[in-house]
Structure 1
Amino acid sequence: MATRVFMSAATEPSLREIAREAGVGIATLYRHFPTREALVAAVYADQVARLTEGAHELLTALPPAEALRRWMDLFGNWVATKEGMLSTLLAMIESDRISHTRTHTALIAAIDDLLRAGQAAGELRIDITAEDVAAHLIGIFTVAPLPEQGARADRLLGILMDGLRPATPGARTPQSG
């Protein structure tokens, strides 16, 4: 529930607002999360786990390129969730209460797993790295934040996926004129 509140908030929501949306009293919320930082850390950890586990679940259910595209949607939702808790999250990263490096490593590993599966299946270019994909995703969700620019983000993700696919024989590429 807190994740949804953080995602839909333009600014950081109050703990009272989160408790109200969750259908619990503020005392119950404080009993489980004594500080805003504890709640943000729990939501953040849950979202990172969903992203990394989501990559593996998608790969078992879908062809690799489709799994990667669906995972990109999960990533966009994760970015949107962070907007509602950004100032607290940044303060926690700055004070080393949350490890940005550990999160980065986990997300790059998830992207790498998706890429390698797609490359092995011949669905994705072999010259693309997980860092390349991560940089593109950050750029896309910076210029087309969710949920307000979902259609634009979807279009940009489609263009990205087109660029990640290997060229078909005889297809024109920017290098071939």
Structure 2
Amino acid sequence: MTIKDLTYTALFTALIIVLGIFPPITIAILPVPLVIQNFGVLLAATLLGPKRATLSVLVFLILVALGLPFLTGGRGGIGVFFGPTSGYLLAWLGIPIVVSLTHRFINNRFKTWYATLFSLIIGGIVFVDIIGSLGVSLVSHLPYLQVLWSNIVFLPGDLIKVIVCFMIYQRVKKHV
């Protein structure tokens, strides 16, 4: 890795940490809050590529596991990886890879702008909801499909994050 790679990786790790300042929005249906930190993960996945973005998220998750209160609401410690949000946190690690593979697959066939938008939807919403729901289901002993369908309450906020991420990517892709 070059100094530039390390700098970008550290910058996006810091961005994910800073986005944890925004308070969580609790929703009665699930024991998982609506957060904005996953926007930082999406942005990293889009702008850094799979290798640097995954490393950025991994560094963030290691810092959280070490007990630093970097998750929304000031949470941290190894215990968060055994709670209801565990699946979502682990899914963040896969977002850069899923976004990259989906983008490559669509872009090789159609070469169009919506490859990026669609890959953000698949990686940032569909993948995260599937893996995150598994974590909630295992911890809370609720049926998996019930938890998966409950994620629909996050859809408006997730779509806004995806669209904003896409707009930022369109503006800065020439410079990254």
Return the TM-score normalized by structure 2.
0.43
